[in-house]
Amino acid sequence: MVGKKQLIISAGLLTGFIAVPVHATLISASGPLSSLGTPASIIAAPANILDDDIINTGMQGFDEAQGVTTTMNYAMDGGATLFAGSTVNSHMIFLNSDGRTKVKHFGVQWQFDTVILGVMSDRRGKFEAASTGELGHPGTNYTTRFPGSGRAAPFRARGLERRGDGYNIFDPFTLMVNMRVTEPGDWIRVITRASSIPEPSSLVLMGLALTALGFAVRNKKNTTIRI
- What would the pLDDT profile of 40-79 be if each residue is shown by its tens digit? 999 999 998 878 778 899 999 999 999 999 999 999 999 9
- What is the per-residue pLDDT across 133-152, written as a single tens digit (0 to 9) for each? 999 999 999 888 788 777 76
Task: Say if residues 167 and 116 touch (Cβ distance below 8 Å).
Answer: no
Task: Say if residues 86 and 73 touch (Cβ distance below 8 Å).
Answer: no
Residue 21 is predicted with a pLDDT of 43
* Number of Cβ within a 10 Å radius of residue 28: 12
Q: What is the mean pLDDT of residues 82-105?
A: 92
Q: 13 falls in which pLDDT band (50, 70, 90)?
A: very low
How far apart (Å, rounded) are the C-alpha atoms in residues 21 and 198?
6
pLDDT reading at 23 higher than 60: no
Q: What is the mean pLDDT of residues 193-201?
A: 59
Residue 50 is predicted with a pLDDT of 79
How far apart (Å, rounded) are the C-alpha atoms in residues 65 and 59?
20
Helix (H) or strand (E) holding 179: strand 174-181
pLDDT reading at 220 higher than 50: no
How far apart (Å, rounded) are the C-alpha atoms in residues 82 and 119?
10
Whole-number average pLDDT of the chain: 78
pLDDT reading at 188 higher than 50: yes
Residue 25 is predicted with a pLDDT of 85
pLDDT reading at 208 higher than 90: no
- At residue 128, the 3 state secondary structure works out as helix
DSSP annotation of 195:
B
With CA atoms as reference, report the closest residue to 109 among 23, 26, 197: 26
Residue 101 is predicted with a pLDDT of 83
Q: Which neighbouring-strand residues pair with 61?
A: 42, 93
Task: Say if residues 158 and 184 touch (Cβ distance below 8 Å).
Answer: yes
Number of C-alpha atoms within 13 angstroms, CB side, residue 107? 6
| Residue 56, burial from CB neighbour count under 10 angstroms (0-12, 13-18, 19+) | buried
Q: What is the mean pLDDT of residues 182-190?
A: 87
Higher pLDDT, 210 or 117: 117
Q: 163 falls in which pLDDT band (50, 70, 90)?
A: confident
Q: What is the mean pLDDT of residues 23-29?
A: 82
Task: Say if residues 89 and 66 touch (Cβ distance below 8 Å).
Answer: yes
CA 170 centroid distance within chain: 17
pLDDT reading at 92 higher than 90: yes
With CA atoms as reference, report the closest residue to 151 among 103, 127, 183, 179: 183
How far apart (Å, rounded) are the C-alpha atoms in residues 57 and 99?
11
Higher pLDDT, 25 or 153: 25
